[in-house]
Structure 1
Amino acid sequence: MARLIYIHDPMCSWCYAFTQSWTKLQETLPANIPIINIVGGLASDTTEPMPLHTREMVQQAWKRIEQTIPGISFNWDFWAYNTPYRSTYLACRAVLAAKKQRHTSEVEMIRAIQTAYYQKAKNPSLPETLQECAREIGLDETQFARDLTSVEIDSELHKEIQSARDLGVNSYPSLRLQHNNNLHMITIDYRDHRTMLQQINSIIQGL
């Protein structure tokens, strides 16, 4: 009858900012509403270093998040010790590769990537960082490395990107509630999960 779809990117700073509110929403969501995760693919593959104007844009987002969302902080050493790339597809594939190996590892990989990136100042655009994340959450590293570059996982990524587009999503994070064959946009609230819960309950109850 209903399902909640979360469209995200593991390297999206606003998705990281949403972590606390999203976790509380999941904890209070009615048990009969399944959650579907979709990786939207924020930035395609590239080996070109991130342009200066893009670095400044991302850094401004980090500053805004720290100033407006309690409890969220970033390790700014990332910018001093890494060559950033405007590429998130590999990290998205890592989430799908983890899910393929063990369904519960999808969320574990998302958290591991965010921790590596935002707290440990490591670069999740690089396969070695993602391999370390796989090791930390107890995946078979050989299988993970194989799946990360496989045609199967790449195909799955592009299917999920298309699914996000079909849902009308153009920014991350996004929530969509499917109920009685209708699709509803749930307004993201980074500070209070209760506003989203109230919106979901109102839709289900037909209010």
Structure 2
Amino acid sequence: MAPEPTPANLPELLYIHDPLCGWCYGMSPVINRIQQDFAGRVDVSVLCGGMVKGNEVEPISVRWGYIEHALGDVEKATGVQFGAAFKALGAAGSYVYDSEPPSRAIAAFRHLTQDPARTVAFAHAVQAALFHGGQDLNRPATYEALLVPFEVDGTEFQRRFESPEAARAIQQEFAAVARIGVQGFPTAVLRLGEQGYVLARGYQPHEQLRQGLEQLLREEVA
């Protein structure tokens, strides 16, 4: 039998998402539960994929018809609720849909805290700010309130968020996700040493994801 993993070499569950992905908003509570279920057995990290970037950045009005139609499906399948403020934001149409600023905020948080577990929670808070609160994720000031529960220094965060290093880092993260071959969001990948195993492509309920993860872990130590 393989030796029991130590905290320094635990298997890692990569939660590959995008802050503007509605299905990811539905999946994030599942990932939070998995993080709790497998504490001490699996490390959970979040990566941003860059769903809307470059030439794809545009006013939300361009894709609002598709987004609005999908909201009910996401709510029914996942149990999350999209707030009236987000629906009003979409209906107004002028909000610029751009994955880069919120992804850069998540990367800046990760860099400052060096804490993947808290970064998972912060990533969900960023999504909730948009999809429930209708807040503008393109404004640096939006993140000030989101940082408070995490006790992260706002001034230091803003310095990192606005730095050229952060801009380069998030582009590198988008490129790394593309190299993995991710076709859509959310995607969950279990990394065991040099091997990666796709656990979920798209939304997956908690129990299904938990069972799949348990099975992979059993097979690894068998």
Q: Which 4+ residue blocks in structure 1 deviate beyond 4 angstroms?
A: 188-191
Moved more, 117-126 or 105-114: 105-114
Structure 1 letter corresponding to 2:154: E
Mind listing any 5+ residue stretches in structure 1 that lack a counterpart? none
Q: Which amino acid aligns with 1:34?
A: D
Pairing partner for 1:200 from 191, 213, 221: 213
* 1:110 aligns to 2:123 (yes or no): yes
Q: What is the Cα deviation at residue 193 of structure 1? A: 1.7
Q: Which amino acid aligns with 2:84?
A: W
Q: Distance in 1 between matches of 2:200 and 2:124?
A: 23
Partner residue, 2:104: 93
Do the aligned partners of residues 190 and 24 (structure 1) sit closer, same or farther apart at CA in structure 2, a change above 3 Å counting? farther
Cα pair 2:25 2:128 within 8 Å, conserved = no
Q: Contact 1:91–1:130 (CA<8 Å) still a contact in 2?
A: no
Q: Could you say if the C-alpha distance between residues 49 and 136 of structure 1 is closer, same or farther in structure 2, counting changes exceeding 3 Å?
A: farther
1:22 to 2:35 alignment: no
The alignment partner of 2:82 has SS state of coil
CA deviation string 1:40-94 (max 9, x = no partner):
1221268x75153411122222221123323x11113334356321201100111
- Structure 1 residues 30 and 51, CA, compared in 2 at 3 Å: closer, same or farther? closer
Equivalent in the alignment of 1:120: 133
How many Å separate the matches in 1 of 2:18 and 2:174?
10
| Distance apart, 1:34 and its partner CA | 1.8
Cα RMSD (Å): 2.7
Q: Which moved more, 1:5-14 or 1:136-145?
A: 136-145
Partners of 1:135 and 1:21 lie apart in 2 by: 23
Pair 1:144 & 2:157 matched: yes
Counterpart code for 2:26 = A
Displacement of 1:136 in angstroms is 5.5
More displaced 10-residue stretch of structure 1: 165-174 or 185-194: 185-194
Using the size of structure 2 for normalisation, the TM-score is 0.79
TM-score by length of 1: 0.84
Question: Is residue 2:44 matched to residue 1:35?
Answer: yes
Give the aligned residue type for 1:84. Y
Q: Percent identity?
A: 20
Match of 1:166 in 2: 179
Q: How far did 1:150 drift?
A: 0.9
Q: Show the counterpart of 2:86.
A: 78
Unpaired segments ≥5 residues, structure 2 = 1-8
Matched residue SS, 2:41: coil
Of 151-160 and 23-32, deviating more is: 23-32
Paired letter, 2:23: W
State how many pairs are aligned: 206
Q: Which has the higher helix share?
A: 2
